[in-house]
Structure 1
Amino acid sequence: MLDNALRKAAAVWVAPAGHDARLVWALWRDDTVLVAVGGSEQRVPGLSDGVTCTLTVRSPSTHSHLVTVSATARLITPDDETSTALRTARLNTTPVWDSVYRLEL
């Protein structure tokens, strides 16, 4: 169920330990969730390398809760292919971000 939900989700809710959840654009790629934050993208207070967070996926059509899991955020430096995929996933805008995290489930 998780894999299917993440394949369809364009955004997920991320709540770093001790902080409120924030809706962020997400990309399911190579069996991992990637989120780009800061800059023109959503800021997620408390999100940093090694932080445990709660990841919630909602239905893109009904917005109903699908699944909530624990994840560990890992700061990455995206390669050109990953950066292009993140930008393409945003469709109507050209995002600029400060950081990209891989959320390890």
Structure 2
Amino acid sequence: MEITRVLDAALRKAAAVWITAPGHEPRLVHAHWRDDALWVITGGTEPQVPGLSDQAQVTVTVRSPSTHSHLVDAPATARLTEPDEETAQALRTARLNTEPEWEAVYRLELGA
């Protein structure tokens, strides 16, 4: 599907996305694209995302990595998860200038 290729290309370069849970304002969060899903960490030193919970249906807004203009809004299902060590290290590395501490890790499955 074309939108999947567009999302894959954009999310491989995106460092942040907007997440909107029903009844809440969009929240800008750092995200990491891995294993065909968007990984988001919340709490601790990372922003909270009101309304984000296990099984929540959310909207992910992606901006173009080159022009920063709106690219697409994609539906996603949030899955509260415990990342394996490799994924946890990738989440730490993706934050570049800071050592993140988090309370929760969500795997957002796009189109779900």
TM-score interval w.r.t. the shorter chain? over 0.9
The gaps in structure 1 that reach 5 residues or longer are none
Looking at structure 2, the residues matched to 3 and 67 of structure 1 have their Cα atoms a distance apart, in angstroms, of 12
Cα RMSD between the aligned structures?
Answer: 0.9
Aligned length: 105
Map of 1:8 onto structure 2: 13
TM-score, length basis structure 1:
0.96
Q: How far does residue 61 in structure 1 lie from its aligned partner after superposition?
A: 4.1
Q: Deviations over 1:33-71 (max 9, x none)?
A: 000011100110110001100000012343210111100
Residues in 1 aligned to 2:95 and 2:105: alpha-carbon distance in whole angstroms: 14
Distance 1:35 1:59 in 2: 19
CA distance in 2 between counterparts of 1:7 and 1:80 reads: 20
Which residues of structure 2 form unaligned runs of 5+? 1-5
Q: Which amino acid aligns with 2:57?
A: T
1:1-105 correspondence to structure 2 within 5 Å: 1-105=6-110
Is the CA contact (8 Å cut-off) linking 2:41 and 2:102 kept in structure 1? yes
CA distance in 1, matches of 2:14, 2:31: 7
Q: Share of identical aligned residues, percent?
A: 67
